[in-house]
Amino acid sequence: MNFQLTDEQILLRDSANRWVSDQISTASGAGWKERWQAMAGFGWLGMTLPVEQDGLGQGLADACVLCEALGAGPIATPYLPAVLIAADVLASAGSQVQRGRWLPALGDGSALLVPALSGPQGDAPAVHARRVGQGWQLSGEHRVVPAGDAADAWLVGAADPDGQLQLFLVPRGSAGLKVTAMASVDGLGACALRFEGATLEDESRLPGDVAVALARARDRAAVAACAEAVGAMQAMLQATVAYTRTREQFGKPLSANQVLRHRMADMAVAVEESRSLTLGSIDRLERAEREGDAAGRALAAAIARAKVAAAARKVAEDAIQLHGGMGVTEELNMGRYLRRLLAIDAVHGGAESQLRRHAVLRAQVRADLAAGRALPGEVEPLPFDEPGLDAFRDEVRTFLLQELDPDLVRAARLNTSVFSDKDIGLRWHRKLHQRGWVAPAWPQEHGGTGWSLARRWVFETECAVAGAPGLSPLGLRMAGPVIMHFGTPEQKAHYLPRILAGDDYWCQGYSEPGSGSDLASLKTRAVRDGDHYVVNGSKIWTTHAHLANRMFALVRTGETGARKQEGISFLLIDMASPGITVRPIRSASGDHEVNQVFFDDVRVPVSCRVGEEGQGWTIAKYLLEFERGGAISAGRLRAALERLERVIPEGALDDPDLSIALSAIEVDIRALEMTELRVMSSLRLGQNPGSVSSLLKLRWSEIHQSITRLGVRLLGPEALVWEDIRPLHLAEEGPLADDARPVLAGYLNARAYTIFGGTSEIQREIIARETVG
């Protein structure tokens, strides 16, 4: 899956952005028709047309680059209906004469052909067609045809007597056709077409499979509409940030107000998710087309539109709100963006209609899987083209089939905590270590796999699908990378093999009573005494401290300077050291996973300090990047949703609200997955993804909570049932079925997901710093 633009696409993007910027800055008052001719002159209208009809034969990705630039204007044009629908359908289902007459004229801008259909998916035509001699007679009305008032001809959808869709090329001035022009919300114009016994020759009918061609074109145009919306969202975000930086109230710029900063952070998250999902959907859609998978193509388009339409509408509404009174006037562009987005929703489907469509398609795909008419690999193809990846996936699946014991899967399914039970996690840890797969992200020189990012994604996804227990990240993803990066040769030689083998089980000593998310305000002090530090203080919310034999901790070794982040060091502490007391804290979910740890004159060798004295804050920031964004989370979220679906009572999916709720979560998971894959694509090129670790942590935790929230809803009265035993897998059976047993406690436990590792508010502030400044 390619999230990077080619050199040619970068040139197209840059030239289109310059042109759009010129159109805005010159305030020439030019209408879309003049701009349309300019686009023809640049060759943009012919980009995706067949070479045989004087086109360039380029793909959907190139069209989306152009659409994103147009969205930033916003520059309303008939590009989506005329080029991506009418021209595409004509190229696929038109006769040679029809293609030769209209496609070159569309490409050079000398003629405009637009579709006249009913509804975003073109179904249930409001016009009917019947045979009359050697021709056809049309009757009925298409009440709103986007860009139709300027068209030279229309591609008219009509139902024949058998209820089959037919498409006709109807030129302007045809007898029996009445055209009524009207204004449109985005300024592009529209018309109504009324057919009163209009008779057409048989040659006006498109002879190909128009239903298939139209469905394909509709899906492609829907994704391109997402690209245009992304361009608008990015432009609105930039304008809002600029406005709040310069607009002052109460003696301060608006951008200093935390509430407004966090709203702009959410706007930035929406933009990034929408861009990732759009780029990923282009690839999935084109892959589905190559494989003849119409259902996969439709799902990709529905997911993209459902997510992006909702996100774009929210970004536009927030942009208007944050511009205050000016935002609702024509003095600024915010209203124009919203009007264009409304027009896109009307033509290509808004969030609600696309979620309903996704729910129907999702049910069909699952029915095909259940009936054996499709295999999981056919429904979810690998997003990478790396050589040998299919064979590697088969190798991983074989290993999981052989080594993942049923009791491990059951324990993982019944887990209500953020971490797996220690015994369960370590059993799986050691199996993976024996195979050499316990540290997929570690370099080979330190005992890791040295896998590519693509192989890591496959491995993590297959483990999630198989129901493997999650491993504790505290050693593998946190302490290990820190020691690799900052540790001495002796520390690396001692600790890294023990982390790999599972001999050391780690906990994290960061949070302290009274500090909350203000990590730098920590008060636990380590005073140098010869070759040791003497540590006094307390840590809290320390996950699995009662089970760990090692802790990595931030302690204050020096005085606070101009910044409270100064004077902090990073220590590795043996939990068996005299003077350490662990007090359990039981969560509202009934789990004992967190603790308060007290240090009373605990002696820690200086050799256990990582990095230089006072370097702790730098190390902490490095570690937090791994804690917040190092995992590949979408696969486990999808597996959690699949488990939840097993709780659904028979017949409950007939409730459209429930089906839509499931679809909404799946759409969010897909957006997160595409964002993860886009980050991986950037990392493979050595690019810095910026604050994306905070974005991923924020969205992962929120989506996880939404899954657990829906689970409680599905339990109904069974949500009253409570079990005291923890972990749940220790009981062979409970009052509920196994799939239902962890739902309630899992919901309660998940309240912490938006708190630990930096609260969601902290993540938004990190994103705001990068977005707003």
Q: Which residues are catalytic?
A: 627
d(CA 752, CA 70) in angstroms, rounded, equals 42
> HEC profile for 759-770?
CHHHHHHHHHHH
CA angle 267, 273, 276 (to 5 degrees): 140
Q: Are 574 and 568 in contact (CB under 8 A)?
A: no
The phi and psi torsions of 553 (rounded to 5 degrees) equal: -140, 150
d(CA 259, CA 337) in angstroms, rounded, equals 23
For 499, other C-beta atoms within 10 Å of its C-beta total 26
Distances in whole angstroms, Cα of residue 42 to Cα of each of 100, 107, 147, 471, 563: 21, 10, 21, 55, 55
Mark residue 373 as left, alpha or beta (left: phi above 0; alpha: psi -120 to 50; beta: remaining).
alpha
- Which residues are CB-neighbours of 738 under 8 A, at least 6 positions away? 410, 413, 414
Q: Are 598 and 617 in contact (CB under 8 A)?
A: no
For residue 141, give the DSSP letter: E
- Which residues are CB-neighbours of 539 under 8 A, at least 6 positions away? 509, 510, 511, 512, 524, 545, 551, 553, 596, 597, 599
Q: What's the sign of the alpha-carbon dihedral 397, 399, 402, 407? A: negative
Distances in whole angstroms, Cα of residue 426 to Cα of each of 361, 419, 495: 40, 11, 17
**Which structure tokens are listed for 55?**
């086109």
d(CA 723, CA 742) in angstroms, rounded, equals 9
- The upper half-sphere exposure of residue 73, i.e. CA atoms within 13 Å in the direction of its Cβ, equals 25
- Which residues are CB-neighbours of 270 under 8 A, at least 6 positions away? 233, 311, 312, 314, 315
Q: Are 263 and 190 in contact (CB under 8 A)?
A: no
Distances in whole angstroms, Cα of residue 264 to Cα of each of 4, 242, 417, 766: 26, 11, 32, 12
Q: How many residues does the chain have?
A: 773
d(CA 595, CA 324) in angstroms, rounded, equals 46
Q: Which helix (H) or strand (E) holds 127?
A: strand 127-132
Radius of gyration of the chain (CA): 30
Q: Which helix (H) or strand (E) holds 175?
A: none
> Is the omega angle on the peptide bond into residue 81 within 30 degrees of 0, that is, cis?
no
Q: Which of 362, 344, 246 lies closest to 663, judged by CA?
A: 362
d(CA 3, CA 74) in angstroms, rounded, equals 24
CA angle 570, 760, 245 (to 5 degrees): 100
The phi and psi torsions of 42 (rounded to 5 degrees) equal: -75, -10
d(CA 275, CA 556) in angstroms, rounded, equals 42
Q: What's the sign of the alpha-carbon dihedral 306, 643, 468, 299? A: negative
Distances in whole angstroms, Cα of residue 15 to Cα of each of 9, 11, 42: 10, 6, 10
